[in-house]
Amino acid sequence: MIRFIFKQENKITLIAFILIAAGLILRFSGNTDAGNTALIGATVIAVLPISIKAYQAARMKLFSIELLVIIAVIGALFIGEYVESSIVTFLFLFGSYLEARTLERTRSSIKELTEMAPQEANLILTDGSRKLIDVYDVEIGDKIAILPGGMIPVDGKVMRGEAEVNEAAVSGESIPVSKITGDQVLSGTILDSGYLEITAEKVGDDTTFSKIIELVEEAQDSKSNAERFLDRFAQYYTPGVLILSIIVWFITKDFHLAITFLVIACPGALVIGAPVSNVAGIGNGAKNGSLIKGGEVIEKLSKVDTLVFDKTGTLTKGRPEVTDFKVFAGDEIELTGLIGKLETASEHHLGRAIVEYAEKTSDLSAYIMEQASGVKGQGIEGTISDHSIVAGNRKLLRENGIDIPTDIETYALEREKKGNTAVFAAVDSKLTAVISIADKIRDDAKEALATMRNNGIKHVVMLTGDNRHTAAAVAAELGIDEVHAELLPEDKVTHVKSLKGEGRMISMAGDGINDAPAIATADVGLAMGKGGTDISMETADVVLMADKLSQYAHALSLSKGTMHNMKQNIIIALVTVALLLVGVLMGGVNLAIGMFAHEASVLIVILNAMRLIKFKP
């Protein structure tokens, strides 16, 4: 029965309006009794869904606005104010309907994402034919065909074909990206032109697109400190209003004034003002490629004054390339194969760069990996085809008792001063090669940092495991205030804690497993979503889906805009209630006018929040 009433709420509102119109016409034409009957009928019909909501709240031991409206309506009926009782219930229902519709618009981003989720996949069968299947029936390792205009249903790797892919749904970037054999593709992206055959690597709820939807849904349901405060405030404010209305009645002996005071003092706009701003702000972020995980994150991000960055993959593109493979002893092809095979076990950007280089000159399948283990912040070591291999920085070599001859150290320093990262490689405890790797600074890094400084950022810090010469070169180009190089993951955490100890509000941005502890330690953690690891994305409070620092600048501006919007809504609500109460006590506002103004204030704060949907820095 309750579900039926809720489903019919819009129809009930329409019926109440018709009965009110009929009742007013009958009263105006002189048929008072018939008119009053119609108005009482409108009140009784309209009060049903309101009563159910009030009862449900009361069962949870909550004082709701609906309860105050019911008390006011009963009072109006008791003193024979049938016009006001019917109009109050109708306005409350109609206001609820308009609130629901406008709130739905503020959640448009998540609705659009959900509607865009892929539903089907073209499975390539063993005989080469294709079969259309449900996306949740795709398994890891399945071969999927993507036709022009088709949506990529899973995360995977291109095995065949060439195409232009629109990644706007995931990254917020509308310019198509070229994909060829070996490239990664993400679910929810659209093939503009060409043809691809991909191997599924992540399916179902594990795909990037599914995780985006899940993150945004969770974020829109989470509350900021301001929202939690207003919820607690409403729990005391609402029963306080009931007590005050009784006091007004006791002092003035005017029952009509007391119930008018009761309705007008309802904190509807005050309670809804903060959450609707957060929902709209989070939706805007999602639409523009920055996933902000909740209202509390928005609040913290708006207060950030110090930015801390990892270098590789964050300030730089994260696509480093081998610029020189200098061999000091042994056969270059064999060394390239041994070191390249070892680095296949690494998730680090530098390791991937070495693998890509090695694959061009050696057959890595000819080498056997017997054992491999990464050393956080230092490199990797293991056994390949009966050879002990160590590849990493100076500290890793020292810990393995391997000396760096003066001539090799001099060569490495020269490469580092030119902006390269030097990876030392030793085979069977003898230093045999230095691999120089360079990574370009992100195209939008300088402009994004300037924008963020204009938005209140006072200090920018870079923490990196890379050598101090390369770090200094990047910092000088970007105008970074403070640089700490050759750090281990725990060192990054120590520096973040030190900055927090100075009273700074810290946001830490990174992309790798080694950044996750520092990201978690910062007040606000940020991860690069496209090139980052799952661990860094799960740890972070904000995820940039296109790996663009301009999205970081947008998120920072958006957080400040959202908090400003929230404060506007709170002021609107408080001023409206104050003016109405003065009007009631002075006799210029009756019950129906008060309810109309009350519902209007609720709609005003929602419409104000909706401006955030189109927010641009």
Residue positions annotated with a catalytic role: 310
Alpha carbon 337 to its chain centroid, in Å, reads 42
Whether 156 contacts 144, CB under 8 Å: yes
* Alpha-carbon distances of 188 from 152, 158, 167, 511, rounded to whole Å: 6, 15, 8, 22
Q: How far apart are CA 315 and CA 317, in angstroms?
A: 7
* Alpha-carbon distances of 301 from 181, 277, 603, rounded to whole Å: 39, 15, 27
242, 244, 247, 253 alpha-carbon torsion, rounded to 10°: -80
- Nearest CA to 23 out of 48, 45, 51, 7 is that of 45
Cite the DSSP H helix spans in 79-147.
82-106, 108-116
Q: How far apart are CA 51 and CA 57, in angstroms?
A: 10
| 429 C-beta neighbours (distance < 10 Å), count | 12
Q: β-strands 506-510, 524-528: how paired?
A: parallel
The token pair that represents 317 in the structure block: 């593109």
| 368 C-beta neighbours (distance < 10 Å), count | 10
The token pair that represents 284 in the structure block: 């805007």
Whether 558 contacts 550, CB under 8 Å: no
Whether 478 contacts 442, CB under 8 Å: no
- Nearest CA to 224 out of 302, 108, 113 is that of 302
Q: How far apart are CA 56 and CA 358, in angstroms?
A: 67
Per-residue exposure over 374-412, b if at least 16 CB sit within 10 Å of its own CB, e if not: bbebbbbbbebeebbbbbbbbebbeebeeebeeebbebb
The token pair that represents 545 in the structure block: 């889906």
Q: How far apart are CA 238 and CA 588, in angstroms?
A: 23
- Nearest CA to 595 out of 608, 607, 610, 577 is that of 577
* Alpha-carbon distances of 602 from 73, 74, 268, 271, 464, rounded to whole Å: 20, 24, 6, 9, 49
